[in-house]
Amino acid sequence: MSGEGGAPQAIRKLAPGRLVIASHNEGKVREIRALLGPHGIDPVSAAELDLPEPEETGTTFVANAELKARQAADLSGLPALADDSGLCVAALGGDPGIFSARWAGPDKDFALAMRLVQDRLEALGPEAYRAAWFVCALALAWPDGHVEWFEGRVGGTLVWPPRGGLGFGYDPLFVPHGRIETFGEMDQDLKHAISHRADAFRQLVAAVL
């Protein structure tokens, strides 16, 4: 979808070549590299270019993804792709949502973040609804200010204790619908095929590549 206002515009295509992945999260960068690999794109991370991390002041996943992509494109002079994603828990009113990374604290301690989710569910009682979903918003920005964005999601159920050492973030807590393994236990090629990020990437690839 075009991120610019006014009448609907044609989707801009992304030419092969260098693309900044506007993230300092190694797990996200690794997944995005794997997803872009077959499409003639040469990804370089914001960390590799020593680009700063902007303050995420948006109130939605899309808004935060867009501000990260715009800054990276402005500073690098290259097209930039940013991801903003998080875990939304039905019984917690959609939290942690856009604050998913902040629940992990300054040290990015996702064991702590998962414990916080569990503590809040336990406070609601043993019958607390454990439905949850991951959301991923992708924003693709060009140095001239044009932006396209895409949003994907995957639903599932939370488990406790966390299971599996694969993936990253809240993955060991989340069992997607129709599966018995958490994202933290699952073969990562399978995760990449069914995740919220994969859903958003399918839309991006169909539109701009």
List the catalytic residues. 84
The answer to whether the CB of 197 falls within 8 A of the CB of 167 is no
R_g over Cα of the chain: 17
- Separation between Cα atoms, residue 85 and residue 169, nearest integer Å: 10
Phi, psi of 151 (to 5 degrees): -130, 130
- Separation between Cα atoms, residue 94 and residue 153, nearest integer Å: 13
Q: What is the 3-state secondary structure (H, E, C) of 70-89?
A: HHHHHHHCCCEEEEEEEEEE
Q: 154 CB contacts (<8 Å, ≥6 apart)? A: 133, 134, 176, 177, 194, 195, 196, 199
- Separation between Cα atoms, residue 100 and residue 113, nearest integer Å: 8
Handedness of CA 149, 153, 158, 162 (dihedral sign): negative
Cis peptide before 96 (omega within 30 of 0): yes
